[in-house]
Chain A
Amino acid sequence: LAKTTQPISMDSYEGQEVNITCSHNNIATNDYITWYQQFPSQGPRFIIQGYKTKVTNEVASLFIPADRKSSTLSLPRVSLSDTAVYYCLVGPYTGRRALTFGSGTRLQVQP
């Protein structure tokens, strides 16, 4: 299983762009990279998913270099409501299915 490494915490201010990088050196060929957001006392919720290059949706962008050994979640113009823990998850969704979340990155957005 691909182990992930993320910064423990990050601070930002409202309106800034935030980039959170996740390292996954032993990612497998059939692994997807998925990011989740978790607010206190709530279950994580899906933000974005990608396999390679760049993916963008209405809330975030995901950048994945050619070697796929890392990925960067980009949150444009964060607001106070983006204060949460962000998890990078790498794993197959078929076959062996034990999925391991890391400790996540705690993002604190200040006014």
Chain B
Amino acid sequence: EAQVTQNPRYLITVTGKKLTVTCSQNMNHEYMSWYRQDPGLGLRQIYYSMNVEVTDKGDVPEGYKVSRKEKRNFPLILESPSPNQTSLYFCASSSGLPKDTIYFGEGSWLTVV
């Protein structure tokens, strides 16, 4: 079954404590990305990756880091989380073909206190 798996699904953390949200896809997709979703703001892209070792900023990259060392994994790193990063995060992947669909993970609820 085609899947994008995120972990953790729910996390409460404190300001400044580094955390990583993992993302893994089993579809051999080249393209992966991270979004955050806040009330009234829709989905905003944080970072995306077109292939291994190739990453680029999306619309709201400040405060986040990513890495793409393997094709299947695309972790999102918050080096020093702040309360304004409290949000619902989605990882997504797609094949990179001209006509394709984006597959989303189930989301990760992150609260920074």
Contacts and interface: CB of A to CB of B under 8 A. Distances in A.
Contacts, number: 73
Nearest to B109: A41
B105 to A, nearest CB: 6
A13 interface: no
Given A97-B50, A103-B42, A46 B101 contact: yes
Contact of A93 (B98, B103, B104, B109): B98
B99 A93 contact: yes
Contact of A99 (B33, B103, B106): B33
What's the interface size class on B, roughly?
A: 20 to 34
A43 interface: yes
Interface in B25-62: 31, 33, 35, 40-45, 48, 50, 56, 58-59
24 contacts: A32-B98, A32-B99, A34-B101, A42-B107, A43-B4, A43-B105, A44-B43, A44-B102, A44-B104, A46-B101, A46-B102, A51-B99, A87-B43, A89-B102, A92-B98, A93-B97, A93-B100, A94-B98, A97-B33, A97-B50, A98-B48, A98-B58, A101-B45, A104-B43
